[in-house]
């Protein structure tokens, strides 16, 4: 990425001397590795390179608030870890559903949207029913899937399947979802003006796809 910036800046003198029919926009962003956060602060058109499609992503944090008690009297407590485990299990079921054949896009590897839980913490000691549990999960979605659909499904599962039982024991029980980062997928038509322009520059129409995220979808979404 830094090499790309150096190459573009080295070409600035040539840009200024050329008889351009359209201006050249140079977009330099930051925080790409931690969720493409920097690019959301400004919107400029830019060259999308030879990768013409990538997956979108939403990263979420879930906090489960239960009720602690001595494990000898576990039924009078609300075990936050066990309820978090049920939420993670539901994420696994939703992830399996995304692998059905009619949702596949063979341009990508893997050719389906994915869900995974990457971080979890909770509990204080084995003889204490855990009051709190936190876990982080992500959805990496094909361009045809809005990852917020998964988040909405998890909100509904928590509200309908888990919270009633939790709050029947302790009214303080709750499940909170917090978005850590998100960005849309990108899917540029191969015969679009942008694709034709890049193909002309590169002398090749060998456009590829990637399963990870890029800032391209945010720029494309901005128009």
pTM tops 0.85, yes or no:
no
Residue pair 183/35 in contact by the 8 Å Cβ criterion: yes
pLDDT of residue 1: 64
Q: 186-191: long-range contacts (C-beta < 8 A, 24 or more apart)?
A: 186/48, 186/52, 186/53, 186/54, 186/56, 186/143, 186/214, 186/216, 186/217, 186/220, 187/52, 187/53, 187/143, 187/144, 188/48, 188/52, 188/53, 188/220, 190/52
Is 34 found in the same domain as 111?
Answer: no
pLDDT of residue 173: 98
State the Cα angle at 111 between 49 and 158, rounded to 5°.
110
CATH number of residue 65's parent domain: 3.30.70.360
Is 140 found in the same domain as 105?
Answer: yes
Looking at residues 186-203, what average pLDDT do you find? 69
Looking at residues 85-103, what average pLDDT do you find? 93
Indicate if the alpha-carbon torsion angle 97, 98, 103, 107 is positive or negative. negative
The SS3 of residue 96 is helix
Closest by CA to 48, choosing from 218, 158, 194, is 194
Q: pLDDT digits over 4-18, tens only?
A: 889 889 999 998 888
Provide the token pair at 211: 């399963």
Indicate if the alpha-carbon torsion angle 189, 40, 151, 149 is positive or negative. negative
Is 153 found in the same domain as 98?
Answer: yes
Count the helices and strands in the chain (H runs, E runs). 7, 7
For residues 214 and 24, which has the higher predicted lDDT (pLDDT)? 24
Residue 140's H or E segment, with its range, is strand 132-141
Q: Which domain holds residue 203?
A: 2-54+185-221
Is 166 found in the same domain as 193?
Answer: no
> HSE of 94 in the Cβ direction (CA atoms, 13 Å)?
27
Is 148 found in the same domain as 116?
Answer: yes
Is 203 found in the same domain as 178?
Answer: no
Average model confidence (pLDDT) for the chain?
Answer: 86
Is 130 found in the same domain as 114?
Answer: yes
Provide the token pair at 183: 């960005």
Is 72 found in the same domain as 19?
Answer: no
Residue pair 103/142 in contact by the 8 Å Cβ criterion: yes
* Percent of the chain's residues with pLDDT above 90: 53
Instruction: Inform me whether the pLDDT recorded for 133 exceeds 60.
Output: yes
In 57-119, which residue ranges form alpha helices assigned H by DSSP? 80-97
Residue pair 147/58 in contact by the 8 Å Cβ criterion: yes
Looking at residues 179-184, what average pLDDT do you find? 93
Q: What's the structural domain count of the chain?
A: 2
* Residue 85 φ/ψ, nearest 5 degrees: -60, -35
Instruction: Inform me whether the pLDDT recorded for 47 exceeds 60.
Output: no
Indicate if the alpha-carbon torsion angle 5, 11, 12, 18 is positive or negative. negative
Q: Which pLDDT band holds residue 40 (cuts at 50, 70, 90)?
A: low
Is 174 found in the same domain as 83?
Answer: yes
Is 172 found in the same domain as 147?
Answer: yes
């Amino acid at each position: 990425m830094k090499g790309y910036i150096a190459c573009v800046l080295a070409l600035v003198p040539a840009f200024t001397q050329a008889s351009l029919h359209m201006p050249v926009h140079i977009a330099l962003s930051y925080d790409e590795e931690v969720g493409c956060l920097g690019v959301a602060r400004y919107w400029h058109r830019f060259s999308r390179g030879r990768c013409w499609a990538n997956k979108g992503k939403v990263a979420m944090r879930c906090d489960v608030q239960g009720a602690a008690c001595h494990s000898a009297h576990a039924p009078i407590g609300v075990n936050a870890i066990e309820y978090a485990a049920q939420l993670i299990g539901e994420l696994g079921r939703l992830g399996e559903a995304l692998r059905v054949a009619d949702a596949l896009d063979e341009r990508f590897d893997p050719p389906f949207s994915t869900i995974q839980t990457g971080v979890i913490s909770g509990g204080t000691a084995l003889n204490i029913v855990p009051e709190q549990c936190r876990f982080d999960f992500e959805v990496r979605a094909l361009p045809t899937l809005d990852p917020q659909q998964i988040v909405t499904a998890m909100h509904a599962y928590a509200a309908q399947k888990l919270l009633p039982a939790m709050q029947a024991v302790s009214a303080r029980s709750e499940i909170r979802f917090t978005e850590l980062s998100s960005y849309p997928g990108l899917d540029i038509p191969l015969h679009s003006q942008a694709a034709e322009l890049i193909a002309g520059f590169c002398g090749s129409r060998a456009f590829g796809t990637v399963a990870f995220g890029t800032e391209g979808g945010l720029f494309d979404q901005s128009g």
